[in-house]
């Protein structure tokens, strides 16, 4: 890396690739070091080698892009793909339905399309907040909670909501089981591995607000890729970066960061000692903590704060079927599943059909995310993190059958399955080498900024403190943009920093937010707390 200011990026997931993309566009010489053979991090897809399904694509669960993922879509637009006008972004397909399944096969498929009238909007919102399933007074109390969130000023979000659990904020303990299942736990099911009793109201509330906006905004859609992730996105991305002279180093893990007490001087990989002017650490939190030394923590206290962050398990399993499914044109949420299952079946969305992979026997792939690994299952009586691979497969299948009823695929239609590669079971112990950061109450203050106090070290991963505030592909992309911005500000470059966006807000609520800003400044509670006490009394009285 000579001539230009050089940057070594450690980690080739979404954060690392985004940082490389933004840096190379601004003239930096960039090398990316990835521990695995395949780039993409937890978002990657890969050919499986399980008996009977060799060559079929596998992944950790499934990828999806909610409407508020602006950073990720912007990057996708700038990755050329086979003549597409908007690059790989044109490989996104809109979902139009959402299946809400309950035990006994009582599943309801709701349209995810924009309501066309005030009446349709009202009906959509009532379905969203389960009017028919939750007692009226409790339903109205939850609407009060929702109104409080969307009209809260930012300072209230960052203090009261950040330091209150979703369980406490929604008064879940005092309400019915239907309220807890559909409104309190249900709000977390389609996001990431979050426990409503431990996760902050700021995080879950922000995502609930954005989900509402996805429903009412015609320009915001939930989309998924029209092919396996690496085929539709990651491989075209790495090819483009190589065409732009980014040096990619797969299967070359970094083992150590050399620190001289002031700055990073080199990184030690399995093959070489690499020296650069600047360094971007874009590994997952557990790998970052292995690389950050006590001396680095002394120089940059925000790195020590990372040890207070928590991870949990969220991973997935694929079932490969010999027929195409017809459940819903979008995601399925299994509300009574103790393992908090969500799913999507892929063939309906893929431009290249599933039968073109492998030996042609497989017609569809049912991709399932498991978000709760600590609650006992219905078949095995054990939590997922104590199960063997075959037990996880049997338990997930049982929970699906209980929810889908007559719509469920038959056991005879299963050609094979694949469990995410991070899950292993050896010597009686189940392990997950690829956990996910979870936003527990008050954890935002422990999340580091992208530009650390070490003058040539930057962070570009989903645990960085961002506006997105969620361990997602979008959060990693935004963090990488912040890292590049910090790097530019400290370098001799005069390049424009990457663009970032705040989470969208509706102008309708601006006057109410301004009113709450005044109340907060005066030390007063949100005005909705007054009416909330009335609703709470009605709901529990």
Residues 48-101 pLDDT 10s? 988 889 999 999 878 889 989 999 999 999 999 998 999 999 999 999 888 888
Check for a shared fold between 6-35+252-309+440-490 and 44-95+221-227+314-432.
no
Tokens 């790989």 -> residue: 88
pTM score, whole prediction = 0.93
CA dist 33 and 35 (Å) reads 7
Range with lowest mean pLDDT among 209-223, 278-292, 296-310: 209-223
Question: Which stretches within 217-358 are classed as H helix?
Answer: 229, 235-243, 285-291, 294-299, 301-305
Query: Residue 400: what pLDDT?
Result: 94
> Please, what is the average pLDDT of the chain?
90
Q: Which of 441, 479, 465 is nearest to 310 (CA)?
A: 441
9 or 529, which is more confident = 9
188 neighbors 372 (Cβ within 8 angstroms): no
Query: Residue 194: what pLDDT?
Result: 74
Query: Residue 181: what pLDDT?
Result: 84
- Does residue 417 sit in helix, strand or coil? strand
49 neighbors 76 (Cβ within 8 angstroms): no
CA dist 247 and 250 (Å) reads 10
Statement: residue 328 has pLDDT above 60: yes
Pick the CATH number of 44-95+221-227+314-432 from 1.10.3470, 3.30.1330, 3.30.9, 2.40.350: 3.30.9
Secondary-structure percent of the chain, ordered helix, strand, coil, rounded to 5: 40, 20, 40
Statement: residue 141 has pLDDT above 70: yes
358-367 mean pLDDT? 96
Query: Residue 437: what pLDDT?
Result: 87
Domain ranges of the chain: 6-35+252-309+440-490, 44-95+221-227+314-432, 118-184+199-211+506-540
> Would you list the DSSP string of 26-90?
TT-EEEEE-SSSS-SGGG-EEE---TT-TT-EEESS---B-TT-HHHHHHHHTS--TT-TTGGGG
Residues 437-455 pLDDT 10s? 888 999 999 999 999 999 9
Pick the CATH number of 6-35+252-309+440-490 from 3.50.50.60, 3.30.930.10, 3.40.1280.10, 3.40.30.10: 3.50.50.60
- Does residue 426 sit in helix, strand or coil? strand
Burial of 177 (C-beta count, 10 Å sphere; 0-12/13-18/19+)? exposed
Tokens 């930012």 -> residue: 154
What region does 55 belong to: left with phi over 0, alpha with psi -120 to 50, or beta?
Answer: left
Beta strand 341-345 pairing with 330-334: antiparallel
48 neighbors 419 (Cβ within 8 angstroms): no
Number of Cβ atoms within 10 Å of the Cβ of 514:
11
- Does residue 408 sit in helix, strand or coil? coil
């Amino acid at each position: 890396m000579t001539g230009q200011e050089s940057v070594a990026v450690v980690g080739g997931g979404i954060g690392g690739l985004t940082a490389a993309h933004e840096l190379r566009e601004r003239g930096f010489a960039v090398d990316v070091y990835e521990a695995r053979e395949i780039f993409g991090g937890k978002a990657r897809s890969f050919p499986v080698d399980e008996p009977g399904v060799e060559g079929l694509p596998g992944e950790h669960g499934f990828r999806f892009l909610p409407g508020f993922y602006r950073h990720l879509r912007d990057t996708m637009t700038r990755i050329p793909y086979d003549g597409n006008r908007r690059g790989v972004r044109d490989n996104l397909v809109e979902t139009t339905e959402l299946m809400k399944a309950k035990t006994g096969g009582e599943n309801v498929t709701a349209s995810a399309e924009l309501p066309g009238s005030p009446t349709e909007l009202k009906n959509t919102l009532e379905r969203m907040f389960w009017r028919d399933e939750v007692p009226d007074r409790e339903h109205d109390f939850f609407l009060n909670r929702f109104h409080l969130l969307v009209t809260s000023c930012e300072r209230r979000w960052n203090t009261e909501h950040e330091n209150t659990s979703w369980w406490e904020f929604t008064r879940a303990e005092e309400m019915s089981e239907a309220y807890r299942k559909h409104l309190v736990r249900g709000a977390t099911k389609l996001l990431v591995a979050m426990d409503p009793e431990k996760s902050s109201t700021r995080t879950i509330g922000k995502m609930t607000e954005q989900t509402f906006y996805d429903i009412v905004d015609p320009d915001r859609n939930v989309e998924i890729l029209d092919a396996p992730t690496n085929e539709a996105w990651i491989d075209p991305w790495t090819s483009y970066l190589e065409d732009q002279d980014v040096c990619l180093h797969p299967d070359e893990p970094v083992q150590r960061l050399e620190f001289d007490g002031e700055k990073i001087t080199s990184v030690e990989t399995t093959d070489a000692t690499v020296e650069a002017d600047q360094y971007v650490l874009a590994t997952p939190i557990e790998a970052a903590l292995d690389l950050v030394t006590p001396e680095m923590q002394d120089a940059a206290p925000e790195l020590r704060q990372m040890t207070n962050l928590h991870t949990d398990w969220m991973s997935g399993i694929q079932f490969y079927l010999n027929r195409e499914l017809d459940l819903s044109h979008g995601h399925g949420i299994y509300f009574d599943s103790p393992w908090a299952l969500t799913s999507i079946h892929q063939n309906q969305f893929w431009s290249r059909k599933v039968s073109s992979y492998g030996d042609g026997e497989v017609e569809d792939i049912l991709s399932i995310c498991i978000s709760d690994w600590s609650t006992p299952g219905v078949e095995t009586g054990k939590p997922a993190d104590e199960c063997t691979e075959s037990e996880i497969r049997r338990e997930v299948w049982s929970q699906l059958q209980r929810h889908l009823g007559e719509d469920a695929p038959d056991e005879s239609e299963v050609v094979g399955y694949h469990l995410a590669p991070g899950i292993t079971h050896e010597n009686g112990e189940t392990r997950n080498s690829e956990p996910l950061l979870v936003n527990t109450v008050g954890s935002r203050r422990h999340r580091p900024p992208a530009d650390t106090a070490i003058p040539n070290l930057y962070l570009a991963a989903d645990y960085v403190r961002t506006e997105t505030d969620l361990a997602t592909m979008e959060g990693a992309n935004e963090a990488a943009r912040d890292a590049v911005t910090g790097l530019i500000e400290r370098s001799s470059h005069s390049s424009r920093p990457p663009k970032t966006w705040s989470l969208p807000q509706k102008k309708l609520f601006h006057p109410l937010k301004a009113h709450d800003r005044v109340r907060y400044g005066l030390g007063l509670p949100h005005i909705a707390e007054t009416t909330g006490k009335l609703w709470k009394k009605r709901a529990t009285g």
